[in-house]
Structure formats: structure tokens, C-alpha cells
Amino acid sequence: MERVNPAQSNSARVKVELGERSYNISIGTDTLCGLGPALKPLDINPVIGLITNPTVSHYYGHTVMDSLRTSGFEPILITIPDGEQYKDILWAYYIYGEMLSNRLDRSSAIAALGGGVIGDITGFVASTYMRGIPYIQVPTTLLSHVDSSVGGKTGINHPLGKNMIGSFYQPRLVWVDIATLKTLPRREFIAGLAEVIKYGVIADSVLFEYLEDNREKIISLEADTITYIVKRSCEIKASVVAADEKEAGFRAILNYGHTIGHAIETITAYREFLHGEAVAIGMLYAAGIAKDMGMLKEDEFKRISSLIRIYGLPYEIPKDISVPAIHEAVKVDKKRKAGRIRMVLPEGIGRVSIVSLDSIP
Ligand SMILES: NC(=O)c1ccc[n+]([C@@H]2O[C@H](COP(=O)([O-])OP(=O)(O)OC[C@H]3O[C@@H](n4cnc5c(N)ncnc54)[C@H](O)[C@@H]3O)[C@@H](O)[C@H]2O)c1
């Protein structure tokens, strides 16, 4: 049977259905210059804070500032240093200060221009500034296009744990310009693909197959192809979030690969692997557990394994990390419940279930 090519457009729109807090994810190519007009219907105060970092601002700050000004906004550029270590309370405090001194009030909004770090801290500040003001996500990494900008998890790190302080607070709009991927370092792009592979395994065998068949187009950032994988990822995340916004249960399927992935990140002090790279190792390890438990067929395990490898993602736990060390790290993770380890295990390509285990096999 001939496979239909689902990638036929370089723009798309996905709605996150959350009643009166519903919002759109707009996916387009070279659309940053259209942000100002897109914000006009949102009925927000003209004074708007644009939170970013110097790396992203260098490439896209001017375009976004111009677009906002041309549409009648008075944007205030607020820049914090580039890096995960700045996603903390001190830099949140700095942003509050800039917002107060520039007289942003309860009807003002802020926009996050950057990857997941900028998105998370901006969402956190928006949820707490004057008891909550609107915010807009303008994600610029693949990980933030398909994952962190959607779903309303905001947060900052504490020296004793990553993402330990935060809130559920939904943005008013997510504005994805896939052309921003052209300047993203290759390693960051590939790491973001791990989350796309995750969506294929947990919910969509067609997306998974598409990733198997279209490696060259994906690697060369072919616009229709990238639009399709970003759109499908956002659709899956949107439907999971709509069903379980605050992770009472079902939303946990998005944590496939993350139990082991987080343990590896913790043991290596976040220095060796990017998040998506650690998740890739975690996904394959979890698939191995599922295969050994008889839940996942051997050939499906092999497909997951080769998809992770063809994109050049790491797939093995480093030799110097032992399984007991991983077990210890998982024990302090948020994903543990009543002393048992909860893991998302694949039952096939496109289907997972959440399983409680006594230990990591
Ligand atoms: N809220 C959520 O649901 C959620 C989900 C997953 C991850 N996260 C968080 O996301 C963060 C990781 O996000 P990330 O992977 O986007 O990393 P990041 O935000 O650190 O961005 C990676 C690097 O790419 C640079 N960059 C961003 N866009 C660029 C572009 N277009 N061109 C050139 N350089 C660019 C950044 O300045 C940075 O140096 C973590 O803090 C993680 O906890 C949150």
C-alpha cells in the first residue's frame, strides 16, 4: 500500500481546549514579523514585556520588537543571561523589578522569546506578577516548539532540585516560527527530536513511521516536513493536556523516557547530556524493560532502537553509571508515588501504559 504524505503545508494551527482558558498554537514559517498583529485581538495593554536572552535576542529581538511597535505596542526588552542556571528565583526577581520600574500593570502582558528556559521563567513570572497577568510563548528551539511552550507548566529551579518551584498557568497564545530552527545549534535540534520520537511512541504510529521515512528532509529542515512533525507533536500534547491539565494521572504518559532520563541528568549533574539526549536513553531503556516483561514485541523494540540511532541520539546508559545508582536517583524523583517507581512503558508503537515497579530492572 502506498503511504500518503501528510506533510503538505508550511503552516498549521492547533487549539488547546481548556474551556475559557483555551488558546491557539500557531505554527508558521518566517512568521515572527506577524506577532504584533496576532496579539492585537487579545485585548492587552500596549506596554508589553519581551523576555529573552542575548543569544536569541541577537537573531530575533529586532524583528519581534519591530513587529510589536508597528502594531501599536510599546515593548520593553528584558534580557536575562543564557543558561539553565539562570532559571532561578534571583532572575525571576530581576524580571519583576524591570516590569515594576517600567510600570507594567495587571492588564499588561509579557512574551517569552526563546527556548524552554525563557518560556518556563516567563510563565512563572506571569503567574505570580500582580497575582497573574497574561503571557505569550514565542518558542525558538525544537524542544520548546513541541513541548515546553504548550501545556502551562511553568517553573524555576532551586539549588536542591530542578523545576521544584512553579505553577500550572496557561499562555494566551503560542506563536511558533519554525524558521528559527535555522540558527539553532544542531545538537539542540537533534535533542528536541527525541521529544518528537516520544510522541510517536506514546500516541501515533503514523508520526513514528514518518520519522523513520523522512530523516533527510527532517535533518535539512524542509519546511512542510518540520511543520508536520511540530503540528502532530503539538496536537498530541494539546489533547493530553486537555484531558488532564494538572497531571492527575493520564498526563504522566508524556513522561515516557523521563524517569531514567532525569536520573541520568541528575547523576551527571546536567553537564553531560542535553535533556532530549537523556530522554532518548531513557526511552530505549524503558522499551527494553517492556520487551523483557513481554509487553512489547521484539521487532517494535528494534524499531524504537533504530529510530533513536538514525537521528544520532545517544541510546545507552554511560558505562560508569550503574543501575543501582539510577535506582537511587529515581527514588528522589517527583515521578515516584507511595514508594513505588512509576514508569511509562510502550506496549507497541503508538501505545503506552503506566506501570508501578519496585525497582529498576
Ligand atoms: N514547561 C514544560 O512543560 C517543559 C517541558 C520540557 C522542558 N522544559 C524546560 O525547558 C528547558 C530546556 O529548554 P530548551 O531545550 O529549549 O533549552 P534552552 O532554552 O536552554 O535553549 C537551548 C540553547 O539554544 C539557544 N537558542 C534558543 N533558540 C535559539 C535559536 N533559534 N537559534 C540559536 N540559538 C537558540 C538558547 O539561548 C540556549 O543556549 C529546561 O529548563 C526544561 O526544564 C519545560
pLDDT at 339: 72
Q: What are the residues facing 76 on neighbouring strands?
A: 49
Q: What is the DSSP letter of 4?
A: P
Question: What are the phi and psi torsion angles at 65 (to 5°)?
Answer: -60, -45
Beta strands 23-28 and 340-348: pairing type?
Answer: unpaired
Q: What are the residues facing 15 on neighbouring strands?
A: 24
Chain centroid to Cα 290, Å, comes to 25
- Report d(CA 29, CA 199) in Å as an integer: 22
Listing DSSP states for 34-47 in one string gives GHHHHHGGG---SE
Q: Per-residue pLDDT for the chain (361 aa), expressed as one digit of tens each?
A: 556 677 778 899 999 999 999 999 999 999 999 999 999 999 899 999 999 999 999 999 999 999 999 999 999 999 999 999 999 999 999 999 999 999 999 999 999 999 999 999 999 999 999 999 999 999 999 999 999 999 999 999 999 888 999 999 999 999 999 999 999 999 999 999 999 999 999 999 999 999 999 999 999 999 999 999 999 999 999 999 999 999 988 999 999 999 999 999 999 999 999 999 999 999 999 999 999 999 999 999 999 999 999 999 999 999 999 999 998 888 876 555 667 889 999 999 999 999 998 888 8
> Three-state DSSP class for 337?
strand
Q: Is the CB of 258 under 6 A from ligand 1?
A: no
Nearest by Cα to 230 from 74, 4, 12, 8:
12
Q: What domains does the chain contain, in order, with CATH numbers? A: 31-183 (3.40.50.1970), 186-357 (1.20.1090.10)
| Active-site residue set | 131, 153, 195, 237, 247, 251, 255, 258, 262, 275
- Report d(CA 202, CA 315) in Å as an integer: 18
* Ligand 1 geometric centre to CA of 267 (Å): 21
CA distances from 182 to 11, 29, 106, 190, 349 (A): 17, 11, 36, 13, 30
* Ligand 1 geometric centre to CA of 48 (Å): 22
Q: Say which residues have a Cβ less than 8 Å from residue 328's Cβ, sequence separation at least 6.
A: none
Q: What is the DSSP letter of 83?
A: S
Identify whether the C-beta of residue 236 lies closer than 8 Å to the C-beta of residue 352.
no
Give the total residue count for the chain.
361
Determine how many CB atoms are found less than 10 A away from the CB of residue 94. Answer: 18
Q: Is the CB of 122 under 6 A from ligand 1?
A: no
pTM for this entry: 0.96
- Report d(CA 350, CA 338) in Å as an integer: 28
Residue 235 grid coordinates: 496536537
Residue 184 grid coordinates: 539553532
Q: Is the CB of 52 under 6 A from ligand 1?
A: no
- Report d(CA 134, CA 136) in Å as an integer: 7
Q: Report the residue among 148, 233, 234, 279 best suited for mutation to probe ligand 1: largest number of ligand atoms under 8 A from its CB.
A: 148
Q: Say which residues have a Cβ less than 8 Å from residue 199's Cβ, sequence separation at least 6.
A: 146, 207, 232, 233, 236, 237
Residue 81 grid coordinates: 543571561
Q: Taking the CA atoms of the chain, what radius of gyration do you get in angstroms?
A: 20
Q: What is the DSSP letter of 182?
A: G
Residue 53 grid coordinates: 536572552
- Report d(CA 205, CA 84) in Å as an integer: 33
